[in-house]
Structure 1
Amino acid sequence: MTILTVMNEDETNASAVPLTYPTITAAMAVAQLGDTISLAPGSWDEAATIIDENFTVFGAGADTITIGSGNNFIDAGDGANTISIGPTIASDNVIIAGDAADTITVGNGNNHIIAGGGANTIRVGPAGTGDNVIIAGMAADTITVGNGNNRINAGDGANTIATGAGNNFIIGGIGADTITVGNGNNYIDSGTFGANTITAGFGNNFIITGNAVDTITAMGGDNIINAGDGVNTVTTGVGNDVIAVGVGADTVTSGAGDDIASVVGGADTVTTGAGYDRLVIDYSDFSTNMVSSPVTGAVSYIGNFGDGAANIVSFTAVEEFHITTGGGNDTIITGAGADILDSGAGSDTLDGGAGIDTILAGFGSDLIYGRIGDSIDGGEDADNSDVDVLNLNYIGLHEIVLDDHENGTVYALDASGSRIGSFSFTNIESIVGDNLVFATPEVLSTEVDAIDPEPVCLDDVDSFLVAVDLVGQEWSYLGDLWVYDATKIVQNGRELDTNDNTIETGSGDDVLLGSRGNDTLIACCGDDTLNAGWGDDKAFGGDGNDVINLEKGNDFAEAGLGDDVVNGGEGDDVIYGDTNVNNSLGGDDKLRGGAGNDELHGNDGNDELNGGSGDDVLFGDQGNDNISGGEGDDWAAGGVGEDKLRGGAGNDELHGNDGEDYLSGGSGNDTLAGGNGVDKIVGGNGSDEIEGGAGNDNLWGGDWAADGASDTFIFEGGTGRDYVHDFEAGLDVIDLSFFVTTFDSVKYAVTDLGWATIIDLQHLNGGLVGDKVIIKSVSADDLAFDSFIF
């Protein structure tokens, strides 16, 4: 095999070894089968045609190369190359181009094409049936392939990709891609950040998009679509589709078929077509109160579900629901499908409708409506202090068979008393309904006469439920109530005592009930429940896994050691998760401020804090905390640990402090500071101020995408390598006032990469080595003087 070198004519050396030639055509005239043609540095304006031979060609000029039917290796170098293989030629070629804008056309063969970093145009003949491997670079590429089974990695530019009817594997990168595929079974991953448009034919496709604003259309077939956290529009045709969307405000429309749509947050709209469709709602990360609208329709249901604000899904033509909620007091009502309701913590109301439902109530005192065919689990708090109520008003004639005092079976009866259906229940402490009939003879009914308001002592009922039925009088006529260890109390009305009481218990698992006065409730060492009632109360949980419920009033609570739950209620409350001096023994607490301007301290442990409505102040302190400000102008600090902070509605101020934190401002004009660590900060809707702090941070001014509002990104020395993902030139500004610099100095520090512009802060006064601001999808020309604050 011989290497033939092509040089410019004025550089040709007839005595050189190996020989050199002035043109590609001249080298080909003497080349033999299997020879290599090497293009020396320089430039050509030559069109060379290779016909029916196997050649290796490489070089750096701006070449035009036309290839015949051989199997060729072409390395065209860094010039702007035009490489063409006839549309009906079935040769198998390896083609490598450089970083210029190349045009590559191939036929029916199985080609391997590496196009480099330029804005490339790659075409496979319209009838092409070869299986091609195509790898493009960072620029905006246009790739068109035929009906073969192709593997395409388009790189990070804003790419346009179109395929025929083959089964293709496509990776789009981080640019805003437009991908159109035919009727094959395709795998498409459009990348994490670009605003993508994907259109698929009638095949069975697997489609993944990222966190930007994506539009996905599948004409038919059985598709699996994961649309990510952006504001997405997903439309499918006839087929059995599985569609999952993230926390953005998504619109999902599916055609005929048995479809599954899954949502996890955001203001979503789901419309399904003919068939048996399932809506999966996972709101387990949220502690707000979720409420069902009345579902309408005979079989296919219309309605909505959510907290009415940030997280709500409106649905049409849904037959079955799988709903999971978090720590709020939720109301879940569904229709006649085979539904699954998992309400998590909180005092929830659950009604699965007429279908064969599975109901999992979780922690908290819940109200559950049972129907024939259901499987019901009331859940059990860690301290066994919850009181779950099973309502049998929809059953009609029935009998109840208890396995023990919390588990059993309800049988529906016909007019003759024969059993015609049943459902089972576990962890139910109370059963209510019309004309309850117990088939278990050991059930005990006891009344307490409270006409004379003397002290009432409940004893010898350890670990059992006592129902206090006050004969002839309201609860306000009951005198002092002494509750001994390991006793649960259910009362038939709200207490009206207005005295200021102090209640203190011993080492058991106790229930403490306050009144309308300014009470002090002190628990000791067990897993206790403290219900403070109205008034300005003080509640101390002590050791153990406690539940503290604060109602109306400006209350103070210290949950103490253990994994505690504190519900603030109405009023300006101050709540501490743990109380030891150095916060080193705390549990994983759940603190909810409720209505009012509250102050919450998680202290040690992986805590969940929710301010609720009002202007709240929240401190995560130590641990990996999950903090939500809720409605109002809130202030929150994560402290030490990998924290998640969400401002919600209002003009909020969030500080990540130490650790790799996630900050989301939500709606409003927010101030967000990441602190130390590799942080992810999302401003949300509104004009936000965002500072990543130390560490390599990722910053968004809008809600994962440009929002049309004016955001300010603040950088100082030691900021690290920060990415700005949605900078809006002409609206957003970069605050470099820390560096005492000028626009001319900034221009010197700017590098335009095409896909992003880098500001190297180490060239500014006060900048450190490694400090960089990477502004994605913005050119240096877009950054004017008014893009900065000096």
Structure 2
Amino acid sequence: MSYAGLAIFDDGRLNGVIFLSNNADPNSNKDAPLKVGFAGGFLGLSLGGAPSVKYTYLSGGAQVNVADGAGPLILAYDDRTGDSVLQGGKLGDFLYGGSGNDVLNGGGGDDTLIGNLGTNIIRGGSGNNTASYVGYSGPNAPDTLGVQVFLDEREAYNRDGFGFHDTLIDIQNVVGTRFLDILVGDAGDNILEGHDGADVIRGGAGNDTSSYETSAFSVDVNLTTKVNDGGAAWGDILESIENVRGSDYADSLTGDAKANVLEGGAEADQLFGAGGSDTASYEYSLFGVTVNLTTGANTGGDAEGDILSDIENLRGSRYEDVLTGDATANVLEGGAKADQLFGAGGSDTASYEHSLLGVTVNLATGSYSGGDAQGDILTSIENLAGSQNADTLTGDAAANVLAGGAGNDRLFGGEGNDTLRGDAGSDALVGGDGDDRLVVIEAPTLVQGDAGNDKLFLQGAETFTFIDMNFKEVEAVYVRDSLTLDMSGVSTKVAITVQNAATTLATVTGTKGNDTITAGAGDTVLDGSTGSDKLSAGAGADTFTFKANFGRDNVYGFESGADHFDVSALVNSFNDINISGLNGGANTLITFEGAGSGNKIILHDVAASSLDASDFGFLLT
């Protein structure tokens, strides 16, 4: 049986599930995307293997599934009574429920899910997903009532208590009704669009955006004064909102003291940063833009006629853009295609944060390839920000800041006093000549300072382990968070400074060389490993650990009753410890029976008579 080129098959399991194909052979579905107009009462409908299915109309309680590997399912589902299950594919889908209690599963991709009436389960799956209530009117609802959506509580319901109560899972963004809505985000980055009506938009803890992209009139949104007017913004209350997306008309968007992203959209817009490091975005412009923060001349695409004030950063379109900064420190992101980025003074950054592929950018040679960097021209750019993929970023003779972003990145500072930040991923950081700062938040494959006085900053990850193969020519290490650092496999000495906060615990083991280890404000476990080390207590309750062949160590700042010596690897009792005064009693010498004459502790500014068994930890037998 077929209809308009559509073949319909039973799946052979006698379960009432119907298989649709645009080829007479259901296993060879390679033709053009389906356009199906279908009305019936099948128990189940499986759109298996279709590369793309558009505008499928069903009625009754249906089960719709797009098989793995299928293209996007754009589904307008007109159900009057039944409860349905709609399953999207790996790409972005548009799923529209009916009046029953439906289950909408977006699957992969960036999905838009409309539950319509009923008590629905709306699950976005992976991707950046949107729950939309834009078409909702509600049974007998007056014009003043809309929806309440709480992403932090995973639920949505009609404001007056009738109509529906949805459960939202893996949803990042919400579009409200044409009535009065309350939209509340979660700890992530949310896009909240109240649509028409005087709405309450509350962003939550993330970097959140209030969108007016579908407003039928221009909007005036001011994050500083909290006064919002015009179009869909009329009467809106915005809380914990960092970014604003305007309409397709001439908008006025004003930020606040925080770092804001302002996107005017089409027509001639006015964007006012109002403090903070603010960005004018042209990400969704249908044409390339030319924006100049120095001259104020802005042309092309959505930038045509725009007026920018107190704007420090620019984000271009998906086309060929020309972005020029000013005398301040600017971040310029060209986006896709071959862009021209001009720093024009200040310490400026070329950003590839949103590139879908990794980039290779070399400021020394002027070579730019891969992802959004392909064909770019960078002038007067000092710093680079990579993508969320594996990047290779190389500086020049100036002082550069290179931030890899997520992914396994390779960062080369070159000459100059550079700052290299690995961010997420297993990164390789090579400072080059100069006094460099290397920052990692996950265990790196390599940190190498090269010539100069180089510093390594550790934060984020729970455990860092270094050996000679992945730690080279770095003179100082700073431990920023509550983590474990093991450098016992490194031969060269290093100065380690713990900068942890109070109530946190850091555990540090030094190198085989003569190290200097200083505890922080929180609790610290200090183990000098071998070598003649200098160990200093901090403000917390610190533990000094000594193991076999620890050498001749000096301990400073020890406070009896607060700090302790862990000697459990050396002796079993206080009777095996020899304590005597030095320098007229100002300092104390501590040795251990059976530990060897070369292993001793010089305790500074502590009298021998003040120590007892409670200051030591032993191996329990």
Tell me which interval the TM-score lies in, with the shorter structure as reference length. 0.3 to 0.5
Compare relative contact order (CA 8 Å, sep 6+) and give the higher one, 1 or 2: 2
User: TM-score scaled to structure 2, two decimals?
Assistant: 0.39
User: TM-score scaled to structure 1, two decimals?
Assistant: 0.32
